Every structure is written in C-alpha cells, then in structure tokens.
Structure 1
Amino acid sequence: MTTFIEEVIINLQEKGLNLSELKFILPSKRAGTFLKHQLSRSTKTTMFAPEILSIEDFVESISGLKTVSNTELLFQFYNTYTTLHTEPNPDSFEVFSKWAQILLQDFNEIDRYLIPQDKIFDYLGAIQELKHWSLETEKTDFVKNYLAFWNKLNAYYTHFTNHLLENKLGYQGLVYRQAEAHVNTYIKEHKIQHVFLGFNALNTAEESIIQHILEHTDALIYWDIDKMFYENPVHDAGLFTRQHAKKWNYFKTHPFHWVTENYKNNKTINVVGVPKNIGQAKYIGNILKTLQTPENKLESTAIVLGNEDLLLPLLNSIPEYIKKLNVTMGFPLKSIPLASLFESLFNLHKNNPKAFYYKDVISILSHQFIRLLLLDNQIDHATKLIETIQSNNIVFITSSELMELSDVFKPVLTLLFESWGNSAAKALSNSKAFILVLKNHLNKSKDEQILSLEYTYKFHELFNELDRLNTTYNYFQSISSLHQVYKELLSSETLDFQGEPLQGLQIMGMLESRVLDFKTVIISSVNEGVLPAGKSNNSFIPLDVKLENKLPTFKEKDAVYTYHFYRLLQRAEHVYILYNTEPDALAGGEKSRFITQLELEHVHTLNHAIATPTVNLVEHKLKTVSKSPLVIQRLKEIAKRGFSPSSLTSYMRNPMDFYFQKVLKIKEYDEVEETVAANTLGTVVHNTLEDFYKPLEGMQLTVEHITEMKTKIATTVLHHFKMTYNEGDISTGKNLISFEIAKRYVLNFLNAELKAINAGRVIKIIAIEADFKQVEINIPELDFPITIGGKVDRVDEYDGTTRIIDYKTGKVSQSQVEIIDWEELTTDYDKYSKPFQILCYAYMMQSLGILQYPIEAGIVSFKNLNAGFLKFTKKDKSGKGATKITAIDQQTIQLFEEQLKRLVLDIFNENIDFEEKEVSH
C-alpha cells in the first residue's frame, strides 16, 4: 500500500523540487509528524527538514494575531457586555456565560466565512422585530430587553473585535478574517514555495487565502479524493472537492491533483453490531488478539474512536502482547478521579449551606484520594468518620462538628469542609492548598503514585489559571459562577500520553485520521448521532439565514464526516466497522447511514455479524449450608444462652437468615435513618410505655395514674426519640409526623385504658418488660441443655384473668393470632409467627411457675387499637361449625411444647441443612 503522503513526496521528487526549501501546510499537526517521518524514509541524502505547519498555525502566522482560549475570550467579552449594557440590572457573569458561549461561536462562524457583519446582525435584529412584536404598540419591559439584545449584536461584535485587535489577540474566526486581509502582504514578504495537501472542507477565509497563494505564487495543492466519490454528483464524500474543482479559477489553468482509484481495490470489510459501548471496547481487544504477528508490529493498524469516551475502556482492553502504542487524543481531565472529588466539593459548597447533607459528606470521605490522606498507621480514619456519622444517625452535619470528630486530620478536613462563604477566592485558595497537601503526601510514595502526581499537576495548573482569571477580571461573584468556568476549562483539558508517535498501534479520533492511511482500520461507534453527529442547533442564527449567507449547516457537517469515513476506507485492506446495537434515545442505537450506504453501493461485500458475550447459564439455586461440627457447636452455645422467640421465628421464616444472624453473627448494615424507620417508632412507643408502667408493677391502675401519664407524653416520647434516633432531626418533615404519631399512639392507648377503668374494669400490673432468661426446655433426644428466653412487654390481671400482652406498632388483625392446625405452627411463618411468639411467652412463664390460671395471651396493635386486646384463639373445627377458645390452659401449653421441641430438633438435626427459602418481600 502506497500512502497519500508517499504519493505526494514521490510527485514532488519527480518535479525535481528541493524538499528542504518547501513549506508544507496540512490539516493537522498529527499529519505533519507522519509527513516528516515519510520524508526521512524517502530521501537517501542528508537534508534539512522543511517547514511543516498545520493550517491553523499557518493562518495565525499570516494574521499577526495570537489565538486566545475560549475561556479568556469569555472574560474579554463580558468586559464588552458590561461596557455597552446601559440598562439597569445587567446579567451576572454566571448568566452571561450561558448565552455568550453560543454568541462567540456565531462570531467565529461569521468571521471564518467572511460574512459582512453589519448585514447579518441588522438582518437578525429585523427578523426578531418582525417575527414577534412589530405590530404591538405597547411593548413590555421583557420584550424591549429582548429586542435590545438583538439590536446590540453588531455593537457587541464591533467593540469586542476592536478591543482584541488593539491587543493583537483573536479567536479563530477573527484570526482567519485578518489573515485573509493580509495575505497579499504575506505573499510579497515570503517567496518560499508552498505545498498544500490533504484538505477537504474549507471555510471561505481558507479558500480565499489558499487561492491567493496558488494564483500568485508557484504553490502546489494536492487533494485526496477517490474517483468513485468525485464523479458521483450526489456522494457527500466528494461534495467539497467537486465544488473546489468547479469554482476555483486556479483549476481552469492547472490540473486537479489528485483523483485516485483506490476505493475499488479488494478489501475485507466486517460490520459488527456489539451491545453497548463497553462491549465495543472489549470486542476491539478480541480483534487485536487475532491481528497478533510474530514481530508484534501494528504500525499500519489504527483504531478510530467515533465516540472518544471509549478511550479508557479501550486502553483496559488492549492485549498484553501489544507493547507499543500511540494515543493521539489525550485523556480527558474530566474522566480523572480527582475531577469527581472537586465536582463533589463544588456541589457541597455552592449553595453555602449551614450544614452538609450526610450523603454528600460520605461521598467525599469515601473518595480514594481522601482515604489516602486520612490513613495513619494502617488505620482508616475516613471509615471511622463515616461510621460515626452513621451510628449517631446524623443527617445534617456542620463543618465545626466535622472538625471535632478528628483532631489529627483537622487541617485536611478544614480545607474540605470549612465554609467557602460563597466566595470564589476562598474556594480557589482551599482547592489549591488541598492540591499541595495531596501532592506532598503522594511524593512520599512517588514510585507507586506517579500517575496520581500527574493528575495533581494538571489540576494545579487548572486552578492556577482560574485564580489568574479571578485576579485579573474579578467576575466570579459566587461559587456557582466559578464552578461553571471550572467545568468549561475542565472539559477542554487533557492529560497527554507519552507514546511512540510512529510505532505500534495507533489510537485516534476521527479528525486525527486526516491525511493518514492504514492497512487495517477499526472504527467504533458507527451509529446515527455519533458518525455522523446529526443535527444540532447551538446557534442564534436561524437555518434560513445560514443558507442565505452560505454558512455551514448540518448538511455540510455531515459531508465532512462522510469524507473522513470513506477516506479511511480508500487505501485500507482490512476494515472493522463496529456499531452499538442497543437502542438508546440519547446515545444512539440505530446503525449509521454510512453502513447502509456501503451496502447499497455494492462495491464491496460486507461481512455482517452480531457480537454477543459468552454468558454461561448459571442455574439459580437456593443457598444451603450443611451443619458441620463447628456449626453444631455454635448452635449449642446459642441454646445454652437461650433461643429468643424472634430468633426461632427467624428460623421459621428463612433458615438462612437464622444462620447469618445467629450462627455467623452478621449484623445488618447500620445506615443513617433520614426518616424514622418503623422499628425506631416501635422502640420509642415501647420505651415510653415502659417508663409509664414500670413503677406501677404490683399495683392496680387508677384514673389518677393514667391522668398523670398523659401529662408526660410529649416529654417522654421526645426523650426516647433522642435516645433511639440519636442526633436525627425530628423537628420538620416526615420525622415530625412520626413524632406526632408516636404521641398519638401512646395517648390513644392510655385513653383505652382510662375507658376500661371508668367502665369498672379492674386492671392490676404484674410485670412490665419482664426479662425471662434461660428457661430450660426438656428434650430427651438431646444430651445438652436447651434454653429459651425473651422479654414480655406486659403481664397484667384484667378482672381476675392473667393477660400476656405483646405490643405491635404495625397493624395486626384478629385472624393473625388464631390457630387451627398445630402441625403448621412451626412451618407456616406468615400464618402463625405471631401466635408462636405469644405462646413462647406463656410457655416461659408457665415453666417458671409464675402463671395463675385463667390465662389469656395476645397482641395490642397500635394501628388497630379499636379492636382492643387481640386474644390468642384456638379454633376447633371437629364439630359443627368452628368453636373459638381464647383461654390458655395446660393442654394448650403441652400442644405448643410438642411443636417447640420439634422445631429445636430440626435446628440441631445434622441431616437437615440450613436451606434458603424464597421469601416474598
């Protein structure tokens, strides 16, 4: 394969030109590197390298202006805006920057295409006047301001460009307009022969400059277009070259170089649909494995990323055998881990909160660089801080409270969490100081953290630039405006790779591929909306005005991508075109029209395939754990200490839960309760009633007792909320509602008690929160002690009947405390977990000999208080109809004991594994 650059050099040598005395102009600097390399290979004698420039550098040298960054332009333009805006309340810099970016792009286009400024700006103002409000006699202030903006565009442009020109500065379009005006002077002063090569789409200024030089000097120009595209009047790949050949006066007397015939040569074109973007990166890795050569040389292989966000996953997918590669595009700074940390810091501080939301704080403390800074003697202080926030249930935390949590790392925490006071200067100062702290820490382990040091250096440069802009212009009036410019700078900065520019595998974006040729080309993300990019309307200039003034529209932009795509295929021998098969409204999913066009041309046979990852079918099996001697030993320890009713019902519900919680002692993750959880509410109500009734054990309830309790509801409930909910806030929102609900539950319960007393009921408190421990169960089949234990919420005597009461803050109905089939008591959790728990309490008290018959046991449901005391009930269906028995007698205890023993024997049966149940949540 002979590349385009080789063909140009051969032609120049055949013309007998001295290559050292030429000035080469190319579309990009990247192409210049390859040209220089090819020159060294094409000459057999020592020579001086010729001058090689990109078109941007060449035009800048003619104009005499220095190109200014987009961010600097924004600040310069705001100066123009504030100078010319005579109406009250001009836009803040933050608001201005949102629309000014678009206007600067329009200025750029207008200048690059040499549009008369007065004409187009006056035209735009007239359109808006006519379009909306020309017939209205009385215009609102909003309408007046809107029209004033359009009428001032010409004044903004004139003042802004004059200011830049006075300082020998310019944006790209202004540089091009000035260069076009000075091209004749340049030609007189520079007699060197110019060679233009590899161009396609040119703006009006570029066309004018190149034509002037071609017509007035002995300059040469080389195009690279295939005959198939050039001669086809509707093929977009040849749109621009056809126009140049037809319209330029130069080609009326000079030949048009070159129309080649490379595209029809034999090619292997594989079109592969791959699910998702990451899938494409992984598939490219598989392609590279098939391309492995004995020498491991891939100089003539290029990966062209249609979506440049694929760079990082691609680099992680490169096979190990590839030792040399060159990444042209640079790694976006916004994808570096440090960027996410500063984004979190800006979001934390930009609204100047009095206290920070705990999730925002935890997000920062969990960051890899913060964990690194808060590590001391292998102790992870970041995790300790997070656990403190969680265990104390702190939903909002102030900066001073955070500082108090760690004296050792107070300087670091101060830089992160000290209030920025909505001051950009303070934000910049703290950010720069933090970067220096991080840099000094990373320096201690330089060899391990060399990449992280590169990160910190780039961010050090970025914040220095922001500080310079703030010092020079002082336009940052808030953290929010600073954040906006920070994001603008961040999006344009890259971390450049050090590679082998001319050796090994080449990884590049579509624009970097200009002028270059490769035998094997892999193109990713060939989807609509990516290649080509599709329609976008990021401009104040309407489509019809652009068409009238010959400004580029989406049609021309699509044609640019079409040329680059087909040019990559012209001299290639092996082509892999990948597209994302997954439909996504934002990121594409429909394969590109380029693929359909290749199919319809019938020039090459396309090999279509859909790549899918190999997924081994994993049969879903419920977990099982066998009872090893170690597990049995652990169960014996639990049995000796005492099974609680809740642990036994946990086993009934799901044996694996019992195994994790009781055998392995795995606790649930202790998360911050932003809103009061159901179990917290239940704990508060239980503890409040315990405080009220505990002093009355052994006493008969009176109206006076209840009346006194009612006066203490608010203070007692508040006290227990503070104890249980720690530092959680219950003064607002859902938590305030939960607080009021807890008070209402207690009040309703006391009112029910008062109603019963007034009705003549005699209620005597026997025990409150009675804690029964190690009540022995006699199981002859087991030769070790089995005990049971637990707390009973309340035991009282109601008109002579002993009642065992369990409080539930959730809703319970009568049917949930009834039992029909004793055989199902320990197997059907949903139906019988509540009767099982109630009978456990009765069994423990009967075993200790502290029950006096008659006995009833049941539940008081605070959500169903009108139902009163829900009594445990035995339903007997042996006769006609069902009889209900609420009294608990010796027979009931005996029947329960049989089921309890059976459950315990199951737990200790080595032949019955702990087996997971499919539990519905």
Structure 2
Amino acid sequence: MTTFIFDVLKDLQNNQENLSELTFILPSKRAGLFLKHQIAQATQQTIFSPKIISIETFVEELSGLKAVSNTELLFEFYNVYILNSNKNHVDSFESFSKWAQILLQDFNEIDRYLIPQKSIFEYLSDIQDLKHWSIEDNQTDFIKKYLAFWHRLNNYYSKFTEVLLSNNIGYQGLIYRVAAKNIKTYIQNNTKNTHVFLGFNALNSAEEIIIQSLLENKLAKIYWDIDSVFINNPKHDAGLFTRQHKKNWPYFKNHSFNWITENYSKEKNIHIYGIPKNISQSKYIGSLLNNIKKEQGSLDHTAVILGDENLLVPVLNSLPNNINALNITMGFPLNSIPLASLFEQLFQIHKNTTDSFYYKDVINVLSHQYIRPLFYVDGEDHASKIIDTINVNNIIYLNTQRLKNISNLSSDIINMLFYNWDKSIDTVLKNCIQLILFIKNHLDKNKQAHLLSLEYLFKFNSLFNELTRLNSEYNHIKNVSTLHSVYKELLSSETLDFQGEPLEGLQIMGMLESRVLDFETVIISSVNEGILPSGKSNNSFIPFDVKIENKLPTYKEKDAVYTYHFYRLLQRAKNVYIIYNTEIDVLTGGEKSRFITQLELENIHNISHQIITPKVPVIKATSNNVEKTPDVINRLKVIAEKGFSPSSLTSYIRNPLSFYYQKILKIKEHDDAEETIAANTLGTVVHNTLEDFYKPLVNSFLTIEIIKKLKTQIEEKVTFHFTNEYKEGDITKGKNLIVFEIAKRYVLNFLNIEIQDLKAGNQIKIIAIEAENKVSINIPELDFPVHITGKVDRVDQYNGITRIIDYKTGKVEQSKVEITNWEAITTDYDKFSKSFQVLCYAYMMQKYGTIQLPVEAGIISFKNLNAGFIKFGKKDAQNNKNKQQLVTEDTLKDFTSELKKLILEICSINIPFIEKDV
C-alpha cells in the first residue's frame, strides 16, 4: 500500500533533494520511527539518516526553554500567587490547585495563539466588573475579593512568566510564544538548512508564524495530508484548518499547495458495527483480528485505534493467541495497577487525623495482595490472626497499639501502614518509600516470578521520590489531604510503557498517535458522541464569546481536529471497521458519533451497518449433584452415632447440598465482624436471657411476684449476654442501641404475657429449660445406630397440659406450624420446617420419658407475641377447619414414619446430594 510518508520522500527525491541534509519535523515522535523505516525503503543506496524531530522538540530548541511537568508548574505558580496576593485571603495549596489548573490551561492557550496578554486580562476583569455592578457602593466582601482576583490575573501571568523565563523553563504555550519571537534569529543563523514539515493540520498562531517564516525564507517545505473531498467541501470539518491555511497564507499565492490527494474516493470496505457496552466491543475486536489474521496471514498493516483509551486492558485481554508481533503506543495507566489501590486506601484512611481506624479499612489494607505476604512471619499468618480477632470480637475501631498487640509483630510494618502519618509530610513520604522497599525485598526472593510487580514498584518509587523533591523544594504540602491531591495529579499522568517492535505486527494506539501514519486495515472503537468527537466542554475562565473575538479555539475547532484525524485514517485504508457503543451512557459517551452519520450521508462508499450482540449460549440448568462415596457414608455413620439434630435435618430438607457442605465437609460460613448486631445474635441474647430467668424455676409453678422480680433484672441480664455474644461491639449508640432496646422489649413483653396468663387464673409449671435430649431411632434398614439429638427451649405444664415450646425471635404465623399431609413435612422447608422441629422435640422427649402423651407442641414468636402459644396442628385434607392440635401416639407414629424415610434417604449410598433452588 502507498503511504503519505513514502509519497513525500519520493517527491523530495524527484526534486533532487539530498535526504541526509534535510530536517524533518513531524507532529509526533512516533511518526519519526516510521519515517526512518520508509527512508530505507525509498532509497537505493546507503545514506546518513536525516535529522528527524517532533514539533515540540523543534520549538523547545527555538525557545531555549525546557518544558516542565504540570505539577511542578503548579508549585511554581503557587509561589507567585502567595507573593502577589493579599496575605489574609490566600487559598491553601489544595484549594489553589483546583482553579489554578484551569488558569494554567488559559495561559497556555493565550500564549500558543499569541494573544496580547494585558488586553485580554483587562477585558476579562472589565466583564466581571459589569456583572457585579462595581460602581455600586454596597459590594459584599465576597464580591470585592472576587473582583480583586480578576484584576490580579495580568499580574499573576506576568510575574509567573518572569519566574519561569529566569529559570529557563516553561509550559507549552510560553515555549511557543518565545519560539515565535526567536524565529528571525534562528533564520539568520541557519541559512542553509531545509526543514520539511509534513502531516500537520490544526496549527496555533505561533506554529503558523514559525512555519511561514521558514517558507518565506526558502528554508522549508510543507506537505499537507488532505484529500480533495475534504478541502473542496467548504462545510467538511476535516478540511477546516487546511482550507484556512491555503486561503490565508501569503506563501501559497505564489507557490503550489502540497498536497491534495484523491485517495479517499478509492474503493474501500467500510463496516460499521453497533455493539453494546465496552467489554463487548473489546471482545469483538479480538474476533475481528482473528478473522483478519486468517484471511491476510499477518497483521503487519493493521491498526486498532482506541477512541476511548480505557479500553486498552479489555482489548489486550481479548486478543487472539495467534498474534505474534504486537506494538502498543500508549502506556498502561499507573493508576490502574494493583499497587495504586493500596496507596489510595492508605491515603483515604489517613486523611482524617484520628488515632482509630475503621475495621473494614484495616482489613482491606491487610488483605491487599502486596501487604498480606509481609505478614507471613515464621510460618504464621499474622494478617489472618488480626482479621480473625476483629471478626470474632466485633472490633469496629482499633488503633495502632491494638494492632501490634494482636499480631505480636515487630512494629516496623505496622508503623509504616498505620502510624505517624499525622506527624509530618516528610514522615508520610518516608513511610511510602520504605513500604515500597519492604515489598521489593519480599518480591526479590523470587524475582523471576515478580518481574512485572517489580516494575510497578520502580515506577511508584520514582513517583514518591518526585513528591519528596517537590515537597523539599517548595514546601507547599501541609497535610495528608493536600499530598493526596498532588499524588493523584502525578499518578494520572504516569504510565508504564510497553516494549514492542514499533514497525511490525499489530499496532494498538490512541487517535493522536495515528497522526501521519497509514494502515491498510483500521479498526476504530468507541465512535460515539462525547468520545469521537469529545463534544462541548468549557473548562476555562475565558467565556465563549471572548474566545471567538480573540480567535482562540472553541469546542468547534476541537471537534474539527478529531474529524480530521478520523477521516485521515480512512484516506488510504482499504478495510475499515468502525465500532460504536449502542448503550447510551452519559459518563462514557452518548449516541453513535456524527462521523458515522456523515459517512453514510456522503454516499461515496458502500457501507455495511450491523448491530452485533454477544453470542449467549443456551446453558441448560443442571443441578449440582454429589454422589455418595464410602467415605461419605462413613462420615454419615459418625454423624448418626453422634445424633442428627432437628436443625441439621431441616437443613437437608431445605437443600441437601448445604447439608453436605456443612456436615460432611465441615465447611462453616465465614463470620464477619458485626458492625450492626445480626439477627442470630439478637436471638441468642434473648434465648440466653430467658434461660437465666427460668432455669432456677424448673419444677416450680410461676407466680406474678416471681415474674415481676424477673422484670427488674432485664437490663442487667440482656447487657451481660450482649457483652458475652457481641464481644467488643458497641451497643451504646446507633442501630446497635436500637437492637439492644428491642432485645429488652422482647423479654419484657414475654414476661408481661406470662403475667397476663397468671392473672387470668392459668397455672404454669416449668418442667424443663434448654433440656438436652439424645435418643435412638430404630431403622432396621441401616446397619449402624442412629440417634436424634437436640435442645428444647422450654417444656411446661399449662393448666395441666404439657407444652413443648420453641422460641423464635422472627415472625411466625399459625399456618407455618400446620400440616395437611405427612409426606410434605420432609419436602417443603418453607411451609413445614417449624412443624418438623417441634415434632422432633416431642418425639425425643416422649422417647426419653420426660413427657407423657398427649401434649401440645408449638412456637412462641417474639414478633408475634399477641398470637400467644402457636400450636402445631394436623388439618383434615377434606375440611381445613377440622384440626387436631394435640400431639398423640398416632401423631408421633405418622411423624416417625416420615422421619425414618428422611434419614434413610440421607444415609442411602444410591441417593446423591441433590442441589435445590433456594
């Protein structure tokens, strides 16, 4: 395929130019690599390489100034701001940095376009005067300060530039302004050098002066990469700037305009795909590349242009395995790597000066992939020890000393992470650098396995060294919050560069890296409004109309820049794949780009437009079954000997697989710290309180006086049991205080119900409290003993009738303890688990000899105390009103039959544990 660079070289050769003596100036450094490669193909003999530089490097040479980072500019500007502001109204560095960033961008634009600084700043301050009626006498202090700020803008600018020039440094705009000023001197000293400018489009005023001066002095040639379709259409934004240059530059009145090509109208295969969401786009790019590789044999002339550079990682993860050569021009953002999340967590927990740390923050830090290994000492996992202690004791806030006491570690690692961050910024930076060295020393033990992580550490070490230098040189960082802001500013501009062969294989790049380069096959992603083009944004102190008046670029010009880059990629390409996101998202781009609509309306090319959706295979729902092995049966024999509890049996009814995990594999649910008291903790406290109250009353009749005395002990007992169960959790405020009061209210209401019963003349005798039972059950089909075991909350006699009572702190309705047919009691957990439990208790106690049938069995629900004792009942299938609520011999006979069937199913080697939908 033909390329713009190759055509330029051939034209220069045809004009008898000696390539070695030329100075090539391009929009980017990356284009220079391709130019060198093309020179080797264009020449038939060995020559010296010409000088090839980017426009930024050339302008720096002209100005004699060195470009510095945006962060360092902020620090320098803050010095100027302090010296030239009212000392009583100076912003902190953190506040200053928020608006100074915008002001520096405006300084940059004003200088790049050579706008008279004094006039525009005076104009801006006059506008503000008019807005705030400056001639009035009743201005508020706020308005006075606000207007004073605008009046000082010119002074800020002039003093700031003076400082920068005295140090031979500058921001981009200042460098351009000085370079434009120095161009005459440069021409005088370089009368024989020929400069070749190629591939430029949108030029600022300084660049125009520099290039035109060189052209007029016959020291330059310029080649435009523009197609006739764009430049000849006065409404096509791709040719907006080139039309202006051709029309306005005096040089082109007497010289030819190089070049206007006819490449765009040539036949192309353009495919447009609408795909939902970013990940789907990335996956489809991988699929396209796989097909292109199969069809063409290689990807040497293929480029993936990422409109949204956040797609880099998903695209890399979607690349097919058959790609051998790959070059990535954009760096991997440093704020996307795991180490960034660690320092973000540390800054977040230390921004608030406090001696205590929230337990989730501590756990997040200790669980981080780079920190956890540092706590493995002498074969012991001290991080797990700390986390388990937090969870078991419900520690919500803990300090550094407590962490040291729990871990029994040397204080170095604990101090680096949690201590001394409020002492000084130097200490914070020292902690961060020391932490990086700690991690490095650990990774060095197996260096080959951690090469990438060590690269991360090197980058972060450089970043914190830069922060240390800036802090020592300028001393503007006064607290952790300000340091965090500066850290994020530096982090956002840092990348981890990829290594690759820039001239071979697949190229993955951003839109701006594609300048001057041509590819046969182009895949462009995220072609949506708000991304390509970027859309309206006004991050500036200069109003729109003032920008128009002073010929500063607005969003229209910025959109035209993207339009040019987009269409230039299409000029010489043969196969074009344009992908956009069909799911409109305000944060990540809007509807499909106007570029797509414009392509379709031009009607120059045959364009296929498809909506692609991810292929979702039909996966049949299959239950997760576990076959029973001899080892499982042996484990079941042990459980049977120890005794099946009613809760374990209902667990099997609910989901056999849960029973397998909990009882066979002994996998317990992980207990996290309870920041808010959990429901099971509340239930335990209420149960234990009532046990304390009623255990001494076994074999006694209740009296009103006894119950009234118990009421006076509610506060003491509930507090005791909360302390015992909730450990160090705080029950003195917030939701926990509410739960604590609820527990007391549950107990009080229960005792009041007892008093009402006694006042009504009912006799209540306590038979047993928390009675433990273990009885055998005869199942002839099994060749091993089987027991049922469980603890009954309460057994009493109510007017001579024995009651078996199970406490529930949740809400239980009468329907939940009634059955119609016996077969359902071991199959439907939601409807009959309560009935199953109380009948298990009745069976055990009858077999144990504690009770004589008939009895009543049921639930007391603390959320439904008004229902009183909710009795088990067996309803007639034909007549629901016909209900038997006494547990008789026949009742237990029918229940025992179903219970045996259930245990046989559990212990049968032929019946697997089958997962149920719950």
Q: Per the shorter chain, which TM-score range?
A: over 0.9
Indicate conservation of the 8 Å contact 1:356/1:398, yes or no: yes
Indicate conservation of the 8 Å contact 2:383/2:407, yes or no: no
What is the CA distance between 1:760 and its match in structure 2? 5.1
What SS does the aligned partner of 1:368 have? coil
- Cα distance in 1 between the residues matched to 2:597 and 2:259: 27
2:796 aligned partner: 796
1:406-454 per-residue CA deviation (whole Å, 9 max, x = no partner) reads 2346422321122512743222111011011112222222222111111
1:260 aligned partner: 261
- Identify the range of structure 1 (191-200 vs 84-93) with the bigger mean alpha-carbon deviation: 84-93
1:722 aligned partner: 723
What SS does the aligned partner of 1:16 have? coil
- Identify the range of structure 1 (235-244 vs 343-352) with the bigger mean alpha-carbon deviation: 343-352
Are residues 1:102 and 2:102 paired? yes
- Cα distance in 1 between the residues matched to 2:691 and 2:19: 99
Label 1:635 to 1:236 Cα distance change in 2 as closer, same or farther (>3 A): same
Letter in 2 for 1:694: K
Are residues 1:393 and 2:394 paired? yes
Letter in 2 for 1:893: L
Indicate conservation of the 8 Å contact 1:228/1:263, yes or no: yes
1:657 aligned partner: 658
What is the CA distance between 1:637 and its match in structure 2? 3.0
Label 1:519 to 1:831 Cα distance change in 2 as closer, same or farther (>3 A): closer
- Cα distance in 2 between the residues matched to 1:164 and 1:183: 20
- Cα distance in 1 between the residues matched to 2:286 and 2:379: 38
Correspondence list, 1:412-427, <5 A: 412-421=413-422, 423-427=424-428
1:81-102 per-residue CA deviation (whole Å, 9 max, x = no partner) reads 2222216242111111111101
- Cα distance in 1 between the residues matched to 2:203 and 2:165: 24
What SS does the aligned partner of 1:608 have? strand
Letter in 1 for 2:276: P
1:700-719 per-residue CA deviation (whole Å, 9 max, x = no partner) reads 44455434433332232222
- Cα distance in 2 between the residues matched to 1:518 and 1:877: 79
What is the CA distance between 1:776 and its match in structure 2? 1.5
Letter in 2 for 1:864: N
- Cα distance in 1 between the residues matched to 2:875 and 2:303: 80
Label 1:602 to 1:689 Cα distance change in 2 as closer, same or farther (>3 A): same
Label 1:422 to 1:296 Cα distance change in 2 as closer, same or farther (>3 A): farther
1:569-624 per-residue CA deviation (whole Å, 9 max, x = no partner) reads 11122222222233322212522221221111122112333444333201223444
What SS does the aligned partner of 2:502 have? coil
What SS does the aligned partner of 2:609 have? strand
1:371 aligned partner: 372
- Identify the range of structure 1 (740-749 vs 250-259) with the bigger mean alpha-carbon deviation: 740-749
2:275 aligned partner: 274
Letter in 2 for 1:101: Q
- Cα distance in 2 between the residues matched to 1:197 and 1:876: 95
1:165 aligned partner: 165
Are residues 1:816 and 2:809 paired? no
What is the CA distance between 1:874 and its match in structure 2? 4.5
Indicate conservation of the 8 Å contact 1:351/1:422, yes or no: no
- Cα distance in 2 between the residues matched to 1:612 and 1:876: 55
- Cα distance in 2 between the residues matched to 1:375 and 1:505: 43
What SS does the aligned partner of 2:390 have? helix
What SS does the aligned partner of 2:318 have? coil
Correspondence list, 1:127-206, <5 A: 127-134=127-134, 137-191=137-191, 192-206=193-207
Indicate conservation of the 8 Å contact 1:75/1:473, yes or no: yes
Are residues 1:692 and 2:721 paired? no
What is the CA distance between 1:149 and its match in structure 2? 2.0
Indicate conservation of the 8 Å contact 1:801/1:853, yes or no: no
Indicate conservation of the 8 Å contact 1:272/1:578, yes or no: yes
What is the CA distance between 1:822 and its match in structure 2? 4.1
- Cα distance in 2 between the residues matched to 1:200 and 1:129: 39
What is the CA distance between 1:671 and its match in structure 2? 2.4
Structure 1: gaps of 5 or more residues: none
Indicate conservation of the 8 Å contact 1:268/1:575, yes or no: yes
What is the CA distance between 1:206 and its match in structure 2? 0.9
- Cα distance in 1 between the residues matched to 2:486 and 2:794: 65
What SS does the aligned partner of 1:270 have? strand
What SS does the aligned partner of 2:414 have? helix
Indicate conservation of the 8 Å contact 1:599/1:606, yes or no: yes
What SS does the aligned partner of 2:407 have? coil
What is the CA distance between 1:899 and its match in structure 2? 3.4
Letter in 1 for 2:30: R
Indicate conservation of the 8 Å contact 1:107/1:173, yes or no: yes
Indicate conservation of the 8 Å contact 1:299/1:504, yes or no: yes
- Cα distance in 2 between the residues matched to 1:544 and 1:84: 29
- Cα distance in 2 between the residues matched to 1:224 and 1:381: 64
- Cα distance in 2 between the residues matched to 1:899 and 1:136: 93
1:124 aligned partner: 124
What is the CA distance between 1:48 and its match in structure 2? 2.9
1:895-915 per-residue CA deviation (whole Å, 9 max, x = no partner) reads 433333343344445665544
Structure 2: gaps of 5 or more residues: none
1:846 aligned partner: 846
- Identify the range of structure 1 (391-400 vs 473-482) with the bigger mean alpha-carbon deviation: 391-400
2:639 aligned partner: 638
Are residues 1:362 and 2:363 paired? yes
- Cα distance in 2 between the residues matched to 1:362 and 1:394: 11
Letter in 1 for 2:772: D
- Identify the range of structure 1 (352-361 vs 92-101) with the bigger mean alpha-carbon deviation: 352-361
Indicate conservation of the 8 Å contact 1:349/1:422, yes or no: no
1:305 aligned partner: 306
- Cα distance in 2 between the residues matched to 1:378 and 1:290: 51
Label 1:708 to 1:423 Cα distance change in 2 as closer, same or farther (>3 A): farther
What is the CA distance between 1:835 and its match in structure 2? 2.5
Indicate conservation of the 8 Å contact 1:352/1:419, yes or no: no
What is the CA distance between 1:343 and its match in structure 2? 1.1
Aligned CA RMSD, in angstroms, stands at 2.5
1:188-230 per-residue CA deviation (whole Å, 9 max, x = no partner) reads 1222222211110001111111112211333211111111111
Indicate conservation of the 8 Å contact 1:113/1:203, yes or no: yes
Letter in 1 for 2:608: N
2:516 aligned partner: 515
What is the CA distance between 1:108 and its match in structure 2? 0.6
Label 1:828 to 1:309 Cα distance change in 2 as closer, same or farther (>3 A): closer
- Cα distance in 2 between the residues matched to 1:39 and 1:212: 27
- Cα distance in 2 between the residues matched to 1:302 and 1:882: 78
What SS does the aligned partner of 1:674 have? coil
1:873-901 per-residue CA deviation (whole Å, 9 max, x = no partner) reads 4556878x935554444343334333333
What SS does the aligned partner of 1:291 have? helix
- Cα distance in 1 between the residues matched to 2:881 and 2:364: 60
Letter in 2 for 1:725: Y
Label 1:6 to 1:814 Cα distance change in 2 as closer, same or farther (>3 A): closer
Correspondence list, 1:509-658, <5 A: 509-588=510-589, 590-658=591-659
- Cα distance in 1 between the residues matched to 2:295 and 2:130: 71
What is the CA distance between 1:184 and its match in structure 2? 1.1
Letter in 2 for 1:397: L
Q: TM-score, normalised by structure 2?
A: 0.95
What is the CA distance between 1:481 and its match in structure 2? 0.9
- Cα distance in 1 between the residues matched to 2:694 and 2:420: 48
Indicate conservation of the 8 Å contact 1:362/1:386, yes or no: yes
Correspondence list, 1:290-369, <5 A: 290-292=291-293, 298-369=299-370
Letter in 1 for 2:550: N
2:893 aligned partner: 894
What SS does the aligned partner of 1:446 have? helix
- Identify the range of structure 1 (420-429 vs 909-918) with the bigger mean alpha-carbon deviation: 909-918
Letter in 2 for 1:393: N
Indicate conservation of the 8 Å contact 2:811/2:862, yes or no: yes
What is the CA distance between 1:464 and its match in structure 2? 0.5
Letter in 2 for 1:483: H
Label 1:557 to 1:697 Cα distance change in 2 as closer, same or farther (>3 A): same
Letter in 1 for 2:187: I
2:210 aligned partner: 209
Are residues 1:16 and 2:25 paired? no
Indicate conservation of the 8 Å contact 1:422/1:478, yes or no: no
1:3 aligned partner: 3
What SS does the aligned partner of 1:584 have? coil
What is the CA distance between 1:667 and its match in structure 2? 2.0
1:79 aligned partner: 79
1:243 aligned partner: 244
Letter in 2 for 1:93: F
What SS does the aligned partner of 1:182 have? helix
- Cα distance in 1 between the residues matched to 2:883 and 2:642: 36
1:61 aligned partner: 61
